[in-house]
Chain A
Amino acid sequence: MLGPLQRLGRWGLGVFERLGRGHLFLLRILLSLGVAVTRPRLVIKELYSVGVLSLLIIAVSGLFVGMVLGYQGYITLVKFGAEEALGSVVALSLVRELGPVVTALLFAGRAGSALTAEIGLMKTTEQLSGMEMMAVDPVKRVIVPRFVAAFISLPLLAAIFSAVAVMGGYFIGVGLLGVDAGSYWSQMQANVDFYKDVMNGIIKSLVFGFVVAWIAVFEGHDTVPTSEGMSRSTTRTVVHSALAVLALDFILTGLMFGDI
């Protein structure tokens, strides 16, 4: 009778303990952020592996998402004789939602999992303890540069994604399906507001960048130092990042656009 209750309690305690450790770890990261300014080279090196190497998948996905949006938008709009509005449909769905969200999901899969695996392997092979033995703070030397690089990369990647996708929608809508190029851009500019739409999209991608970077470095640092533990941490990074991004997107959308 009390057995299942005890299991539930143990599970709950475990969840809260992990949450607490995650926040304490975040606090440690934030307190050591200064190292990103004093040693920018460390961050630049991580920007390469986290940002530059994600560029290809982001640009290609952006192009295809934009082209699909161009097709689907056109097919729906042409029924109402409103295919001139294709530009605003493509741009609004991209800058408000798809740009930040899809980029964050791809980024968690491409870069977040890599960060977790890298840090986790460092912990498993006791490189992190080795650094501590040499009086090098592993949070400053290893964690903070990766956290900062991921936090910077995501908004930039989201902007690239949206820009490439708008061009993809242009290729399909204007190049293939014959929407007028002038009305594609003018409808877009008439209906996309810089502060309400573009800025809110950038805020979203900043929040997602923070959360994905946090989850990735925490899972790596908190990994059980076995091969099985590492595979679990890597999986958890992708799953938890995706869930966090989607849930936060719902909340942020409600806060930003709910008052209309």
Chain B
Amino acid sequence: MTTRTIEIAVGIFVALGLAGLFMLAMQVSNISEYRNTDGYTVHAYFNNIGGLKVRAPVTVSGVRVGRVTAIRYDPERYQARVEMTISANHDYLPADTQASIYTAGLLGEQYIALEPGGEDDVLVHGSEIYYTQSAFVLEEIIGRIMVNMTTH
């Protein structure tokens, strides 16, 4: 085996290994989502976020426009504070936009749906979304129905 053949074989091996890594990064994982992180951040307070997770999608009419970047509990307002980053090309959302937490499918992951309002001012970096609707918690609804049925 000549040195040249060996070197070519090693070259192919290294190229294959890097191609494997590239495929794992681009095709298998979500690295493409990390690239366009430029956007503006808004926050909203929810009474109950259900099973919402960081990096959950933020959608308008079902179209994905951003994602949840941070969730923490605000001890002064006794509410959950959810921060979301919306990509910069969706800078037309009115200031009175409503944010609701919905579930994709019966057991699917939860996401935030934005419903644009009618104001002329738009959401900018650091704005708060005032109109929010908490996650749908099955036990709560069943509890309410039970109370209604027993009181009548």
Taking CB atoms, residues of chain B closer than 8 Å to A122 are: none
B residues contacting the other copy or chain, number (CB 8 A): 24
CB <8 Å contact, A48 and B9? yes
Give the complex CA separation of A163 and B19 in angstroms.
Answer: 9
Q: Hey, what's the 0/1 contact readout for A137-180 against B, CB within 8 Å counting as 1?
A: 00000000000000001011101111110100000000000000
A156 touches B20 (CB 8 A): yes
In the assembled complex, the Cα of A51 lies from the Cα of B12 at a distance in Å of 11
Q: How far is the CB of A205 from chain B (nearest CB, A)?
A: 10
Chain A neighbourhood of B29, CB < 8 A: 91, 95, 189, 192-194, 197-198
CB atoms of A159 and B24 under 8 A apart:
yes
Binary contact track B1-44/A, C-beta < 8 Å → 1, others 0: 00100110110111011111101110111111010000000000
Chain B residues 76 to 107 lying within 8 A of chain A, measured CB to CB, are none
Q: From A161, which residue of chain B is reached at the shortest CB distance?
A: B20
- Flag if B13 contacts A44 (CB, 8 Å): no
Other-chain residue from B7, B12, B27 in contact with A185 (beta carbon distance below 8 A): B27
User: A residues within 8 A CB of B21?
Assistant: 156, 159, 202
Tell yes or no: A117 within 8 A of B by CB.
Answer: no
A156's contact among B7, B9, B18, B28, by CB below 8 Å, is which?
B18
- Chain A: minimal CB distance from B32 (Å): 8
Bound-state CA distance A52–B32 (Å) is 31
Q: A156-B14, A157-B17, A163-B19 are in contact. Are A45 and B28 (CB under 8 A)?
A: no
Complex CA distance for A91 and B23, rounded to whole angstroms: 12
CB nearest neighbor in B for A82: B107
**Does A162 lie within 8 Å of B24, measured CB to CB?**
yes
User: What residues of B have a CB within 8 angstroms of the CB of A197 in the complex?
Assistant: 29
> A207: CB under 8 A from chain B?
no
Where chain A touches its partner, the secondary structure class is: helix
Q: Which residues of chain B are near A41, meaning CB under 8 Å? A: 3
Q: Mark interface residues in A39-83 (1 if CB within 8 Å of B CB, else 0).
A: 001001101100110010000000000000000000000000000
Is A134 close to B, CB under 8 A?
no
> Which residue from A160, A166, A189, A193 sits with its C-beta under 8 Å from B16?
A160
- Are B30 and A159 in touch, CB under 8 angstroms? no
With A48-B6, A48-B9, A51-B10 in contact, is A198–B25 under 8 Å at CB? Answer: yes
Residues in B neighbouring A185, C-beta threshold 8 A: 27
Q: In the docked arrangement, what's the CA distance between A198 and B28, Å?
A: 9
Q: Taking the nearest CB of chain B, how far is it from the CB of A151, in angstroms?
A: 13
**B residues less than 8 Å from A190 (CB atoms):** 30
Q: B7, B18, B28, B32: which contacts A188 (Cβ < 8 A)?
A: B28
Distance of A47 Cα from B13 Cα, bound (Å)? 9
> In the complex, what residue of chain A is closest to B15 when comparing beta carbons?
A156
How far, in whole Å, are A155 and B18 apart by their CA atoms in the complex? 10
Min CB distance, B111 to chain A, in Å? Answer: 11
Give 12 pairs: A residue, B residue, CB < 8 Å, sorted on A: A44-B6, A51-B13, A156-B14, A156-B18, A156-B20, A162-B24, A188-B28, A192-B30, A193-B30, A194-B25, A198-B24, A198-B25
Inter-chain pairs besides A44-B7, A192-B29, A192-B30, 7 sampled, C-beta below 8 Å: A91-B29, A95-B28, A157-B17, A159-B21, A166-B28, A188-B27, A197-B29
Chain B residues within 8 Å of A, Cβ to Cβ: 3, 6-7, 9-10, 12-14, 16-21, 23-25, 27-32, 34
Shortest 10 CB-CB distances between A and B: which pairs? A156-B17, A159-B20, A163-B20, A194-B31, A194-B29, A160-B20, A159-B21, A192-B29, A52-B13, A48-B6
